[in-house]
Structure 1
Amino acid sequence: MRTSHILLLCILGAVLLPSVICSSAIGPDDCCFKFYPRRVMKNLIKSYYLSDHRCSKAAVILVTQKSRRICADPSLTWVDGIMKYLDEKSF
């Protein structure tokens, strides 16, 4: 009787293990699927960071003074200008 309980627990653990492993998969946290369509004034932005390289779209994530995150297209000149402005401001 005791060995059947242990065997049942082992089978149950083997069945539940794949679902636990799949739900804790490590992936990118901040990916952008759409870009913000309008320009943002540079004095409203306090910092920026790049999206994870594993995301489908490369993006710049602008963080506003109120800690709101805005996805922006890194190829746009105004986004590049904000990045340069913040880099120069930090020195």
Structure 2
Amino acid sequence: MTSHFPLSVLMMLLVAITLSEGLRGSGPKDCCYHFNKNPIPQKRVVSYVKTPQQCPIPAVRLKTVMGRYMCARSSASWVKDIINTMDSKVLLGKATNL
């Protein structure tokens, strides 16, 4: 008679994974919860993305020249300046990273 223990352990593991994935919800994955307090120099930012409206806190994800994403509050004046500058470059056809 073979033991059903390994099969039972496998089934319990699959149930645990399924439940934990279901508890995460279907909300957006790119929300920001921690924000840069210090302004990032504009020359270090290559692009930006606004977080989805479903996120609890409106924010902007700034991509740096090093490829890192940093979260910033969209209401901060320095963030608005970066967005305005980048948007004006796009309108003039100068930006290629957006």
Per the normalisation by structure 1, the TM-score is 0.71
Decide whether aligned partners of structure 1 residues 47 and 22 sit closer, same or farther in structure 2, where only a CA change above 3 A counts.
same
Given the alignment of the two structures, is residue 86 of structure 1 paired with residue 86 of structure 2, yes or no? yes
Q: Which amino acid aligns with 1:36?
A: N
Per-residue CA deviations over 1:2-56 (Å, capped at 9, x if unaligned) read xxxxxxxxxx9xxx6x749827853201111121010111110000011111111
In 2 relative to 1, CA 25–76 (structure 1 residues): closer, same or farther, beyond 3 Å? closer
Q: Report what 1:60 is aligned to.
A: 60
Structure 1 segments of 4+ aligned residues over 6 angstroms from their partners:
none
Residue 88 of structure 1 deviates from its aligned partner by 1.0
Gapped regions of structure 1 (runs ≥ 5): 1-11
Q: Where does 1:12-91 land on structure 2 (aligned, <5 Å)?
A: 19=19, 22=22, 25-91=25-91
State the distance in 2 between where 1:33 and 1:75 align. Answer: 15
Residues 41 and 21 of structure 1: is their aligned pair in 2 closer, same or farther, counting only changes over 3 Å?
Answer: closer
How many residues were matched structurally?
A: 76
Q: Do the aligned partners of residues 21 and 30 (structure 1) sit closer, same or farther apart at CA in structure 2, a change above 3 Å counting?
A: closer
Which consecutive unaligned segments of at least 5 residues does structure 2 have? 1-10, 92-98
**What secondary structure, in the 3-state scheme, does the structure 2 residue paired with 1:36 have?**
coil
Select the structure of larger CA radius of gyration.
Answer: 1
Q: Percent identity?
A: 29
RMSD: 2.2
Hey, what does 2:5 align to over in structure 1? none
Question: Which whole-Å CA distance do the structure 1 matches of 2:23 and 2:68 have between them?
Answer: 27
More helix by share: 1
Cα distance in 2, alignment partners of residues 24 and 33 from structure 1: 16
Q: How high is the TM-score relative to the length of structure 2? A: 0.67
The letter for the 2-side match of 1:65 is V
